[in-house]
Structure 1
Amino acid sequence: MEYKTFQPHKDLDLFVDCYWTLQVPTSNNPTKQRIIPDGLIEMAFILGDDIKRFTSSNKYILQPRAMVLGQTIEPFFIEPTGYVDTFSIRFYPYGFAHLVKTQLKTLANKETPIDFLFPKDMANELEYSIINAKNTEQRIEIFENFLRSLITKPLEIDALVKSTLDTIIESIGSQSINGILDEKISLRRKLERKFTKYIGVSPKQLGRLIRFQAALKLLLSGESENLTDIAHQFEYYDQSHFIKDFKDFTGISPKNFLNNENLKLSSIFYK
């Protein structure tokens, strides 16, 4: 299994967090992999064999070969049908919102073919070019040219969304939304609407995701496996609160997470 990340050109780093590639050899005994929410939106191109996306314990669909994965707030399972070769773009949520007219909440918890979001001819040309490119560097160049063609004006971020998002990130999701708004508490409903439009999830959900991610990275680093210490470091009310969030986003407890065969893929992303 080989996972690599690549940085975008500096004039696009407000839109794109990174590019990443994943290659996994064909296995005679493929296992379902549990994918964990990360608070970001991705566009993915399947260059290898098809990938199953389970809709229930024994039912699945095949993922589109060129798709946008919207915000997710619960884990889901995928399983390769053969050789895995993927090229993906990891967006900042507000960056992707600048590129499409669709409200991001409509993309949540599912994969959407790119020709549903962009003009069909443009989407088909992008898919063909990415899939038939010689290497990752060429794919990045192709995508960045596509991205620049969509950017007709400077990135504008709603001031209320930006200030709230900045505080959520700076506090690693530990500060409450009411605390962030303070005397502007009357704006909460307006903020909720703007977040689901531009980010794809509510500010409270995003805060929970960001805090959980930070705690998960510490757990995976091996620096601490003491759940009480981790809960305290990230300002959870107590250990049980941390475990509840962990189960909500992974489907299992922290102790069962480590060395779980179904979490090899997610562990690579978070490390």
Structure 2
Amino acid sequence: MLLRTYIPQAPLSGFVDFFWYFEGYTSPYSQELTLPDGSIELVFNLSGGKINLIDRENKGLVRAYGSSVICGPHSKSFIIDTSVKSTVVGVHFKPGGVYPFLKMPVDEVHNIHVSLDALWGVQAHDMHEKLLLTKTVDDKFQQLEKSLIKLASQPLIQHPAVHFALNEFLRLPLKRPLSDVIGQMGISHRRFIQIFKEEVGLTPKLFCRLRRFQEVLNRIDQAKNVNWLDVAMACGYYDQMHFIKDFQAFSSLNPTDYFSRLDRHHNHVGILI
């Protein structure tokens, strides 16, 4: 198995966390539950097959999304098909980072996957073909960098209010009430929420809830024993009841069930069929 990551140069580095490349992974499970973190990814399958996801709303039907897909910002878990060994390359965006490239409000892809061909047409096809033609992993990363710069439909800048808010929200736990942060914007509460949804894909409140959930996962992933009340308080929950409610809403599992699973790794849980 080969896993590589790469942080692009400026100006992309202000919008992209990293590029990643995954080759030769064989999961012991045919499906994996993927937990939400509100992030957005582009995924390109370089093995010649389609990207398959499981439709939980339709009796577990396998849905094929072509050879490239955008995973919109999720606030609920979804299931990926891991039954076939594949080689994939992807882009993991920073919060709000995909907006200059998407050419549409980001909240329109909330909780969904969309084929890149449907979004970008021939540009998506060209990106995929060029990735197939490049030989080394480093060359693929360089090609992704060039393609994204070319794809940007507007200057690579973030709305000042969104930029300020994200800096505050990414401090965990959030030290001030959400209303205090929004009060410093100089724009109306309603207008800020609209802009934030357009660029990040989630409401500010939902984004902060997901950040707390991810902080919980970070704290327990390497732990041998867990005091759930201590974890809840450390991550900014008012009480254990709200913590459990959020955990179940985001993961489809209760905290104890998740922690007891030996088949888990960060944001992924194996599924036996």
- When normalised by structure 2's length, the TM-score is 0.86
Distance 2:239 2:204 in 1: 22
2:216 aligned partner, one-letter code? A
In the TM superposition, residue 186 of structure 1 has moved relative to its aligned partner by 7.6
Q: How high is the sequence identity, in percent, across the aligned residues?
A: 24
In the TM superposition, residue 150 of structure 1 has moved relative to its aligned partner by 3.1
Distance 2:164 2:267 in 1: 30
Residues 34, 78 of structure 1: 8 Å contact kept: yes
Distance 1:96 1:246 in 2: 26
In the TM superposition, residue 171 of structure 1 has moved relative to its aligned partner by 4.2
Residues 99, 105 of structure 2: 8 Å contact kept: yes
RMSD: 2.6
Q: Report what 2:230 is aligned to.
A: 229
Distance 2:164 2:225 in 1: 32
Residues 174, 234 of structure 1: 8 Å contact kept: no
Q: Report what 2:61 is aligned to.
A: 59
Q: Report what 2:14 is aligned to.
A: 14
Deviation per CA, 1:206-254: give whole Å up to 9, x if none: 0011111111111102176211111111121012221211111111012
1:21 aligned partner, one-letter code? Y
In the TM superposition, residue 182 of structure 1 has moved relative to its aligned partner by 3.6
The verdict on how the C-alpha distance between 1:151 and 1:59 changes in structure 2, with shifts beyond 3 A counting, is closer
Q: Report what 1:192 is aligned to.
A: 193
The size of the alignment, in residue pairs, is 266
Distance 1:89 1:146 in 2: 12
Local SS of the residue matching 2:164: helix
2:182 aligned partner, one-letter code? L
- When normalised by structure 1's length, the TM-score is 0.87
Residues 50, 81 of structure 1: 8 Å contact kept: no
Query: 143-152 or 172-181, which moves further after superposition?
Result: 172-181
Local SS of the residue matching 1:156: coil
Structure 1: gaps of 5 or more residues: none
Q: Give the structure with the higher percent helix.
A: 1
Distance 1:92 1:34 in 2: 22
Residues 40, 90 of structure 1: 8 Å contact kept: yes
Residues 218, 224 of structure 1: 8 Å contact kept: no
Distance 1:261 1:3 in 2: 22
In the TM superposition, residue 37 of structure 1 has moved relative to its aligned partner by 1.0
Matches within 5 A, 1:112-151: 112-118=114-120, 120-151=121-152
Distance 1:85 1:65 in 2: 11
2:103 aligned partner, one-letter code? K
Residues 105, 200 of structure 1: 8 Å contact kept: yes
In the TM superposition, residue 183 of structure 1 has moved relative to its aligned partner by 7.0
Local SS of the residue matching 1:180: helix
Structure 2: gaps of 5 or more residues: none
Residues 19, 88 of structure 1: 8 Å contact kept: yes
Local SS of the residue matching 1:236: coil
User: Are residue 104 (structure 1) and residue 100 (structure 2) matched?
Assistant: no
Query: 79-88 or 97-106, which moves further after superposition?
Result: 79-88
